Chain A
Amino acid sequence: MSEAQKVNRYELMEKIQMVDFALVDLTLYLDTHPQDSQAIQQFNQLAVESRDLKHVYEQHFGPLRQYGASFSGYPWNWKDTPWPWQL
């Protein structure tokens, strides 16, 4: 992989944080506005975007999620550093 193609871990993480933040905020909003179909559409679109971004991240940097929500590489790499406070 050339330098230009190298995925920047921080940039990708920040993208995931942005999309996931919108999903958190929409979740709380929809809990009190369950009939806002436009917000639901936006939620579902962002859910796809989040899934795709995490797929790319995990291919480079290992699993993000616990208990089978992410696949493992070999050897088992869930327990690998960095943890969020070390990144």
Chain B
Amino acid sequence: MWYYEKKLQYPVKVTECNPRLAKYLVEQYGGADGELSAALRYLNQRYTIPDKVIGLLTDIGTEEFAHLEMIATMIYKLTKDATPEQMKEAGLGAHYANHDHALYYNNAAGDPWTATYIAAKGDPIADLYEDIAAEEKARATYQWIINMSDDPCLNDSLKFLREREIIHSQRFREAVEILKFERDRKQIF
């Protein structure tokens, strides 16, 4: 089971109301390489991955939910004081018409989240390479968003998340090596 903790993994501050930035950021909320996809991808793969890497998938999957909460906090803070007019100007008119200021799991283009964003092949190496690719794509997305953002407070939190993608990718690469080592060891004896 999971225990909720009443704290963010890393502080999230925003300089000012900025719904346009929120529109881009939602890519990491309900997008293909976003935090929801990441959490569900890893936790779902745990059941068929070799025992040696179940712990890693559990822990990274859990950390992704903490990142999801940080992204939600960013979107919430960037939009909570926006008027309908400001939402419209930011390209969030369609979102406002359907959801008011509520958050929703869709990507920056407005497409709703779908399970097709998640791969589960059952082959440990294929699944781990999928995870490495997902982390690298998420890292790149954070970089593109940072490139478009002029909010120094927000960028500080985004840089933290970008760095985490690098660590996760690194750990998944180590997991691949662990499985390869195990496979070769079994062939020798």
Contact = CB atoms under 8 A, between A and B. Distances in A.
Interface of A: 13-14, 16-17, 20-21, 24-25, 27-29, 31-33, 63-67, 69, 83-85, 87
Interface stretch (B8-16, B27-35, B144-152): B8-16
Nearest to B172: A32
Q: Is the interface of B mostly helix, strand, loop or mixed?
A: helix
**A interface secondary structure, majority:** helix
B69 A31 contact: no
Contacts, number: 64
Given A32-B56, A32-B178, A85-B72, A66 B9 contact: no
Interface residues of B, number: 27
A17 B4 contact: no
Interface of B: 3-12, 53, 55-56, 59-60, 63, 69, 72-73, 76-77, 167-168, 171, 174-175, 178
Contacts of B56: 28, 31-32
Given A17-B9, A21-B9, A84-B6, A29 B69 contact: no
